[in-house]
């Protein structure tokens, strides 16, 4: 019956628990006598044996690569600098646009105050020109109209004459 493993750690733990059946220095082989590649886990605490101490006919096991600090490529540096430059340009253009809008709003407010002042002046002129004293003075000077000095008289109207005029107007 075949065993089912959940992950590679289970496989490695089982291989570690099995006794080693082969002589030292030989690689594990399967039933077809082809050498298999051993999976090595190297933590860096044990030095790799020198080539001279290995028995003849053995292959040196693979070792982990040395840790080297990853260098940042010039392309990435240029890319970051270009992105930063674009962000700075956008930020500065935004500040300039906002300043321009603030200036436009200020100028519009000044123009609004000028228009409101002119409107108040015109309202005052309308009120002055429409006052009764101004109208009376103009009527006397320009048109020659004067208030009557004598007392008004009552007129009497003959009702019979009014009826006869109305009848004549209906006939025509």
d(CA 93, CA 119): 39
Predicted confidence (pLDDT) per residue in 128-168, tens digit = 998 988 888 888 888 888 887 888 888 888 899 999 999 99
The pLDDT, as a whole number, for residue 151 is 83
The pLDDT, as a whole number, for residue 140 is 87
Does 26 have pLDDT greater than 80? no
Q: What is the mean pLDDT of residues 27-52?
A: 54
The pLDDT, as a whole number, for residue 41 is 58
Q: Is the pTM of this model over 0.75?
A: no
Mean pLDDT of the chain: 79
Give the residue extent of every domain in the chain. 74-145
Rounded to an integer, what is the distance from CA 130 to the centroid of its chain?
56
The pLDDT, as a whole number, for residue 75 is 93
The pLDDT, as a whole number, for residue 139 is 87
Rounded to an integer, what is the distance from CA 92 to the centroid of its chain?
15
Contact by Cβ (8 Å): 27, 59:
yes
Predicted confidence (pLDDT) per residue in 49-81, tens digit = 555 555 666 665 566 677 777 788 889 999 999
Does 19 have pLDDT greater than 70? no
């Amino acid at each position: 019956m075949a065993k089912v493993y959940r992950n590679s750690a289970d496989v490695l733990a089982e291989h570690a628990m099995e006794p080693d059946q082969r002589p030292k220095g030989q690689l594990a082989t399967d039933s077809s006598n082809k050498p298999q590649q051993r999976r090595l886990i190297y933590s860096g605490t044990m030095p790799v044996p020198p080539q001279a101490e290995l028995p003849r006919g053995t292959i040196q096991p693979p070792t982990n690569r040395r840790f080297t600090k990853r260098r940042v490529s010039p392309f990435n540096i240029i890319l970051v600098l270009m992105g930063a430059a674009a962000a700075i340009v956008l930020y500065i253009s935004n500040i300039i646009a906002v300043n321009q809008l603030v200036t436009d709003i200020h100028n519009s407010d000044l123009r609004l105050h000028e228009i409101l002042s002119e409107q108040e002046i015109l309202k005052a002129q309308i009120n002055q020109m429409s006052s009764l004293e101004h109208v009376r003075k103009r009527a006397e000077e320009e048109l020659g109209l004067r208030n009557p000095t004598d007392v008004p008289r009552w007129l009497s109207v003959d009702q019979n004459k009014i009826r006869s005029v109305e009848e004549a107007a209906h006939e025509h």
